[in-house]
A = this chain, B = another copy of it.
């Protein structure tokens, strides 16, 4: 069992960070040959998933998320708290904060065009997003 925490800086809504190399480095540091690595982002306005890290598809994903949580809608969260980030919370809950990937022969077993990404969904920048990595096995 090995744990480490990545600290990721984001510029607010729309920032997508490719974490694949850092997750692979943690797997190497753990010495794990076969097992699992769990990726978890703290906070309720960010999410993790896998996607091809290519500007076009990241733009397409952003558009798709705005179908379910459009910018120009009144949000009950914003009426209550005035944060202006009701849509951020909704998108984060839908995509989800966690991901588990297999480690096989000391390597992340993801596809060549399948990167592990942090989606910043909040309307404001976060200088220190915490992404916890746990390697088991």
Q: How many residues of chain A are within 8 Å of chain B by beta carbon?
A: 59
Classify the secondary structure of A's interface with B: mixed
CB distance from A125 to the nearest CB of B (A): 16
| Assembly CA distance A109 to B38 (angstroms) | 13
Pair B51/A89 contact, Cβ less than 8 Å: yes
Copies of the chain in the assembly: 3
| Assembly CA distance A61 to B89 (angstroms) | 8
Write the A63-77 contact mask toward B (1 if CB under 8 angstroms, else 0): 011011100000111
In the complex, the chain B residue whose C-beta lies closest to that of A57 is: B77
Residues of chain B contacted by A130 (CB below 8 angstroms):
109
Most buried by B among A52, A67, A79: A52
* A residues lining the B interface (CB < 8 Å): 1, 3, 34-36, 38, 40, 42-44, 49-52, 54-57, 59-61, 64-65, 67-69, 75-81, 86-87, 89-90, 92-102, 104, 109-111, 113-114, 130, 132, 134, 136-137
Sample 16 A-B pairs with CB under 8 A, ordered by A number.
A1-B34, A43-B113, A43-B114, A50-B92, A50-B93, A50-B96, A50-B97, A56-B79, A56-B80, A56-B86, A57-B89, A60-B77, A64-B94, A65-B68, A98-B101, A100-B100
